[in-house]
Amino acid sequence: MGLNLNHFVPLVVLASVTVAATPAQAALSVGMTAPAVTTPAALGGKQFEFRLAEALKKGPVVLYFFPAAFTSGCTIEAHDFSDATAQFSAAGATVIGLAHDPIEKLSRFSVTECRNRFAVGVASNAIIDAYKVKLPVLSMSDRTSYVIAPDGKVIFVYSALSPDGHVTKTLAAVKAWRTAHPKG
């Protein structure tokens, strides 16, 4: 009785699809210092250079990575962040999304999907590597959201390919930080 390898092929395919669909484990843990970010970005279609260090001078930063502009999950997530922008602002937080897309595409995305409410920027390979958010098979980031305190320390990390939960969880983390650090 010989071994029929045809029975194993579906298992191998299923395993490879599961690995490809699973986000990389976010290597930045709570308490770590967030790597510096300087990258082309756009807000309301206007391009500028985003600097994480400058944004942190104003308060905490929600730095969220998404796979690609104008895809269904990323559009849902952008709409969710857009709808919550006033709440993030009230807590003194800046929101910026990063994707491995050209700035021209992100500029359009900032208008149509971010609704001119928050910036999106280019997640270069170096930034993706520094934040350890690369999808295992594709050359794009997974969906990971970080909340970074003004001192540059990561205070919250959430990784999930579904856009669900990214806004509510990061907003809760920002509000908790704000409660512990009232404006003075």
Over pLDDT 90: what percentage of the chain?
80
Q: Cα–Cα distances in Å, from 14 out to 6, 8, 28, 161?
A: 14, 10, 29, 17
pLDDT (tens digit per residue) in 39-74: 999 999 999 999 999 999 999 999 999 999 999 999
Annotated active-site residue 74? The verdict is yes
Q: Would the pLDDT of 23 be above 80?
A: no
- Cα–Cα dist 176/184, whole Å: 16
Q: What is the pLDDT of residue 149?
A: 98
Q: What is the mean pLDDT of residues 78-93?
A: 97
DSSP 120-172: EEE--HHHHHHHT-B-SSSSSB--EEEEE-TTSBEEEEEE-SSSTTHHHHHHH
- CATH numbers and ranges of domains, the chain: 26-180 (3.40.30.10)
Q: What is the pLDDT of residue 139?
A: 78
Q: In which band, very low, low, confident or very high, does the pLDDT at 183 lie, cut at 50, 70 and 90?
A: confident
Q: What is the pLDDT of residue 127?
A: 97
pLDDT (tens digit per residue) in 123-132: 999 999 999 9
Q: What is the pTM for the complete model shown? A: 0.85
Q: Report the 10 Å Cβ neighbour count for 15.
A: 10
Residue with tokens 């045809």: 6
Structure-block tokens of residue 60: 């905490």
Q: Would the pLDDT of 8 be above 70?
A: no
Catalytic residue among 74, 93, 135, 171: 74
